[in-house]
Every structure is written in C-alpha cells, then in structure tokens.
C-alpha cells in the first residue's frame, strides 16, 4: 500500500511537477535549501516590457524565504517589487559527463527553480534583517566588519522576499548513461570530469594602505570551495 503524506514535501503544482526523467527530481525541502545555499548567484526571470528577461543576482535564504535585492533605479527590480511573476533559478554545475555515445553526454548538476511573486520588504528593521541575510550569504562576516547601510543607502535599495512555496529541484549525479548500443564498447572510456568552484587569494583594493591585514572572515574562506560539493 502506498501512503501519501498529507502535505506534499516540496511542491506539486503543474509547473513544478516532472514532465520527464522524474528520477532526477528531488522531493525534499532540504534539497531545495541545499542548492540555494550552495550558489552565490541565481538567475531571475521575469517579463519586462513584454519580453522575457533573465539577469543574475545575489540571494540569501532565511528558512523558507528567499531574499533578493537591487537598486530602486533598476527596471527589473522595480517590476519585481511591483509584483511581477518571477522564476528564480539557481544552478550548480558539478561535472561534465562523458558517455560512450555523444547522445548520452550530459552534465552533473543541481538546479532549483522557484516560481512566485515577491513581496517588497519594508520597515527599517525588517529590511536590515533581510540585507544581513543577503550579506552573510555572499560575504559571511562582512555585516560585523564593514560599515552598515545608512538611511540614504537603505532608501535606494529594494529588498524582495520570495516564498519557497512553489519550487522544484532537479539533480543529475553519478555515471554517464549507457545505451544498449554501447554496452559492449568496453575499450571506450566514459566517466565524469568534476567541476569545482574555488576561491583564490584575496586581492586588496588599491586604496587600502600596504600592510593592512586581510580580515579572518575573508582569508579563512580561501581554502574553502565556494559551493558545497554534492552529497
């Protein structure tokens, strides 16, 4: 007997349900969180002046809320703030998949797709909280080190909150597919070339006096990968 949970674990609307390769869809909310936490840049899609527009942007997650932000002077940010329907996609490329056939060549990846309309975050305290979440995601430690936004800077920034209600996660991992036609091609290599994203050595700004120590929250990051490897 199959039992169904009373609440779908992730989302089961038409636009978040698998149409192909259902085995690649993750059904748990933790997978969604993990992909968002593993990416520094997401791509936000919306309709602007009647045309689709996709732009990269930073994000930060707080529970089941995704925060985005941008200049109040930016057309796409203004459209999102006005309630335009959004599609936010975060992708980690984990490897190039070399199969025995070109048709089975692929990529290993983790990809989260979120649909919805964002709410404008208002009020100084809520806005600062959201900006802190964004800041701690992009540059952990900076919130307590650098100068915090003043009123003028806060006023020039739109902060948006998008609920992680309607979302899907697609993951490809592991071996290249093997077509029956290639099963006996034993001498043909196939495998995965992993892709990692890493931090290099920090480069001080030209205006920083020589000898200024690199703060620990920056230097400690160098030995780490920018994104979490797949589990």
136 touches its own copies (CB under 8 A)? no
Determine the distance from the C-alpha atom of residue 126 to the mean position of all C-alpha atoms in its chain, rounded to a whole number.
22
91 touches its own copies (CB under 8 A)? yes
With CB under 8 A as the contact rule, the residue among 111, 130, 164, 171 that binds its own copies is: 111
Contact 133, 67 (CB under 8 A): yes
Measuring CA to CA, which residue among 99, 36, 29 is closest to residue 67? 36
Q: How far apart are CA 170 and CA 10, in angstroms?
A: 12
Residues 19-38 that bind its own copies (CB under 8 A): 19-20
Contact 166, 15 (CB under 8 A): yes
With CB under 8 A as the contact rule, the residue among 74, 119, 129, 228 that binds its own copies is: 74
79 touches its own copies (CB under 8 A)? no
* 60-62, strands of its sheet edge to edge: 60-62, 65-71, 157-163, 119-120
In this chain, which stretch among 2-10, 25-33, 118-126, 143-151 interacts with its own copies, using CB under 8 A? 143-151
With CB under 8 A as the contact rule, the residue among 7, 208, 223, 231 that binds its own copies is: 208
Q: Which is nearer to its own copies, 64 or 144 (CB)?
A: 144
């Amino acid at each position: 007997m199959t039992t169904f949970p009373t609440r779908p674990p992730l989302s089961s609307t038409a636009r978040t349900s698998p149409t192909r390769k259902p085995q690649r869809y993750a059904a748990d909310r933790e997978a969604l969180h993990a992909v968002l936490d593993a990416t520094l840049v997401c791509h936000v899609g919306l309709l602007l002046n009647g045309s689709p527009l996709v732009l990269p942007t930073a994000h930060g997650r707080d529970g089941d809320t995704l925060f985005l932000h941008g200049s109040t002077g930016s057309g796409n940010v203004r459209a999102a703030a006005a309630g335009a329907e959004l599609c936010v996609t975060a992708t980690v490329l984990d490897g190039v998949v070399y199969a025995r056939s070109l048709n089975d060549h692929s990529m290993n990846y983790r990809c989260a797709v979120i649909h919805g309309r964002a709410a404008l975050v208002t009020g100084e305290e809520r806005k600062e909280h959201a900006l802190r979440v964004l800041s701690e995601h992009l540059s952990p430690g900076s919130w307590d080190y650098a100068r915090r936004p003043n009123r003028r800077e806060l006023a020039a920034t739109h902060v948006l909150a998008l609920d992680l209600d309607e979302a899907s996660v697609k993951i490809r991992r592991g071996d290249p597919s093997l077509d029956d036609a290639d099963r006996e091609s034993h001498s043909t290599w196939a495998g995965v070339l992993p892709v990692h994203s890493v931090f290099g050595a920090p480069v001080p700004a030209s205006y920083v006096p020589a000898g200024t120590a690199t703060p620990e929250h920056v230097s400690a990051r160098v030995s780490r990968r920018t994104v979490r490897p797949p589990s």
